Structure 1
């Protein structure tokens, strides 16, 4: 954990919400986009989208986003330990077989984006997902690659207690609720 965030105007124990409060002109539209991607209509459940977000964050080794979104996913019914197992060995992890090609796809898109192929997409389709599902998975992946860099670039860190608190908040009020809290 870094000693202090990279922006001197933030408190020493800054969290992402502190960045959001400091820069509402960029944060409020970003939270609205989160609400659309993570809570809007989708072939994926809320828990599955949080699972994808946490998985991408794990591939990126972004402890903050991985921790917060693992907790959020678990609150939406993703079993405890599933994300750690998926990151360790997706093939043997107790992940729904339909989701494995989706996680493989977003993992590859995260780690080696220029190597994603039509064959990778075909695996997602062969698992029974449609074009909207692939689009939604790509959008969650892209959003969390962005967020991982935002968190790491600002030097934001937290611990397991904060991940649990933030995961509960996101489960209970969503991203729009967080934006309303920040705007108040």
Structure 2
């Protein structure tokens, strides 16, 4: 149920984007840069980060959509639930665990980030560009989680499947094309 009364009760985020294209277009352009431009992380790994951050925030909409999107890119089904339940005991790749720990801490307690947190990411074999990109995905999805929750955007698991496939197949540029 959207808090924007003009959109109706079954409006997804795409409805908000269509109502406010002047802010949606640059936001989707930024999504495309952060989530699909060349990066040390694959698109699936970035979607994993997005879904993980959204899960920490309890944003069911973003967590649902980006879990499906990550799975469309090859992230094993159930991996995100396992990571959110027990990251250390989960089957997340050992190189990704420090990245998820980092974005988890950045999401929960941003003022407590330390150089040691970054060093754990570097020790796993990631370079500065990877840390930069992980922080951008984390920041973007903390923003999106607040936007979605603040506007009361909700959807069913059926919609997560449709949206996740759409993001996999067309990226965020493809989503922007639906605004017209």
How far apart, CA to CA, are the structure 1 residues paired with 2:8 and 2:34?
30
Q: TM-score, normalised by structure 2?
A: 0.99
Give the aligned partner of residue 104 of structure 2: 107
Question: 1:182 is paired with a residue of what secondary structure?
Answer: coil
1:147-167 C-alpha deviation (Å, 9 max, x unpaired): 000000000001110000100
Of 150, 163, 174, the residue aligned with 1:177 is 174
Which of the numbers 90, 99, 113 marks the counterpart of 1:116? 113
RMSD: 0.5
* Structure 1 residue 106 displacement after superposition: 0.2
Give secondary structure in 1 for the equivalent of 2:100.
helix
For 2:20 and 2:40, the matched residues in 1 are separated by 33
Question: Helix, strand or coil: the match of 1:6?
Answer: coil
Match of 1:140 among 137, 146, 153: 137
In structure 2, the gaps of 5 or more residues are none
Out of 71, 92, 96, the residue aligned to residue 95 of structure 1 is: 92
Q: 2:158 aligns with which of 157, 161, 177?
A: 161
Corresponding residue of 2:124: 127
Q: Using the TM superposition, give the Cα deviation of residue 38 of structure 1 relative to its aligned residue in structure 2, in angstroms.
A: 0.2
1:20 partnered with 2:17: yes
| Matched positions, count | 180
Distance across 1 between alignment mates of 2:114 and 2:165 = 37
Q: Give a deviation string over 1:37-58, Cα, whole Å, max 9, x none.
A: 0000100001000000000000
Q: Which residue is 1:63 aligned to?
A: 60
Confirm or deny that 1:49 pairs with 2:58: no
- In 2, Cα distance between the equivalents of 1:66 and 1:5? 17
